[in-house]
Amino acid sequence: MSKNILITGGTGFIGQQLVDQWLQNDHQITVFSRRPEWVAQRWGGRVTAANTLAQLGERYHWLINLAGEGIADQRWSEARKQVLRASRIDFTRDLADWAASSEQQFECVISGSAVGYYGRLSGSAEQQTVTEQSHAGQDYAARLCQDWEHAAKALAPRTQRLITVRTGLVLGPRGGMLQRMWLPFYLGLGGPIGSGGQYMPWIHRHDYCRAIHWLLDSEAQGAFNLTAPEPVTNREFSRTLAGTMKRPAILPMPTPMAKLAFGEMSDLLLFGQRALPERLLESNFAFDFPSLAPAIQDIRTRW
């Protein structure tokens, strides 16, 4: 059945793919964006663009809330931290206020979060393993995710189901973190970061979008880890990416160099989480790309 869908972050690396797929299924889509002209150009008028909440007059069946300034785009100065928070937490609060005042009754709301929720983990595989039952961390990124999830709870009275997606590193062609890694690895300049033993919970964008459709069509609610069932260490990730390109992965980035280059943001590279998608697996979701090597091979053919 055709749904009326509102998506924030619909112009992003993940959101564009979701919009393309919904269009194929004849859904009605509104993209909330600061760049409505870009939206009109990208989808040739087949989606509605809105850049203020006041423009959202209709009833929507589904709300997908993915808007947020790029977490790894700039060093985390105090001003940048504020921007990262405002674009997620303040924005989600505004969205909840709008949903209340316009008396929305969504069937399902999916709101963003990330595996950073679980905090900076290190040590053995067991010490880094987390599921949706695990405790939240205390560092900056962990608090950002918790506060983002908390802000989304204000949408609960306006929806039959509220889901938060604790997302790992999303891999796909020409975008996301992989785009930054592609050239250095292609030039043979890639390698492990820090100890290389920190886990990188990843997910192919193809499976991410399939999981979103799966969750929308299910009875699910609450938090879900959107990560592949076979997370790898940073060392294995580097080796697999370089191996796919038939390049060596021998140039490591030592911890002090990462700290110097990225400041506090180096947390994202030097620590990890072996996040498992326990709830997706319990719901019998089948990943098309559970293992990293075939995922990267697939992405390479589409680059």
Q: Two tokens at 170? A: 């999303």
Asked if 114 is part of the footprint of ligand NAP (rule: CB under 6 A), the reply reads: yes
- Residue 90 or 282 with smaller CB distance to ligand NAP: 90
Instruction: Give the residue, chosen from 18, 71, 110, 163, that forms a contact with ligand NAP under the rule CB under 6 A.
Output: 71
Please state the closest distance from residue 256 (CB atom) to ligand NAP, in A: 26
Please state the closest distance from residue 94 (CB atom) to ligand NAP, in A: 10
Task: Output the residue with the shortest Cβ distance to ligand NAP.
Answer: 12
| 53-61, 165-173, 276-284, 285-293 -> range binding ligand NAP (CB under 6 A) | 165-173
How many residues of this chain bind ligand NAP (CB under 6 A)? 24
Asked if 66 is part of the footprint of ligand NAP (rule: CB under 6 A), the reply reads: yes
- Residue 155 or 169 with smaller CB distance to ligand NAP: 169
Please state the closest distance from residue 2 (CB atom) to ligand NAP, in A: 23
Asked if 106 is part of the footprint of ligand NAP (rule: CB under 6 A), the reply reads: no
Residues 7-36 that bind ligand NAP (CB under 6 A): 9, 11-15, 33-35
Please state the closest distance from residue 61 (CB atom) to ligand NAP, in A: 21
**Dihedral angle at the C-alpha atoms of 25, 178, 74, 83, nearest 10 degrees?**
20
Size (the chain), residues: 303
Strand partners, 32: 8, 50
- Residue 104 or 167 with smaller CB distance to ligand NAP: 167
Asked if 67 is part of the footprint of ligand NAP (rule: CB under 6 A), the reply reads: yes
Number of helices and strands (H, E) in the chain? 13, 13
CA proximity to 66, closest of 98, 99, 36, 32:
32
Q: Two tokens at 268? A: 């994202």
Asked if 252 is part of the footprint of ligand NAP (rule: CB under 6 A), the reply reads: no
| SS3 category, 282 | helix
CA distance 264 to 259: 7
For residues 11 and 64, is the Cβ–Cβ distance under 8 A? no
Q: Give me the helices (H) in 200-277, please.
A: 205-216, 234-244, 255-262, 267-270
What secondary structure does DSSP assign to 221-233, as a single string? -EEEEES-SS-EE
Asked if 68 is part of the footprint of ligand NAP (rule: CB under 6 A), the reply reads: yes
> 164: part of which helix (H) or strand (E)?
strand 159-167
- Residue 136 or 177 with smaller CB distance to ligand NAP: 177
| 128-136, 166-174, 191-199, 266-274 -> range binding ligand NAP (CB under 6 A) | 166-174
DSSP 277: -
Asked if 70 is part of the footprint of ligand NAP (rule: CB under 6 A), the reply reads: yes
> 294: part of which helix (H) or strand (E)?
helix 292-302
- Residue 91 or 285 with smaller CB distance to ligand NAP: 91
Asked if 64 is part of the footprint of ligand NAP (rule: CB under 6 A), the reply reads: no
Tracing tokens 């663009």 back to the chain, one arrives at 49
> 233: part of which helix (H) or strand (E)?
strand 232-233
Residues that bind ligand NAP (CB under 6 A): 9, 11-15, 33-35, 66-71, 87, 91, 112, 114, 167, 169-170, 176-177
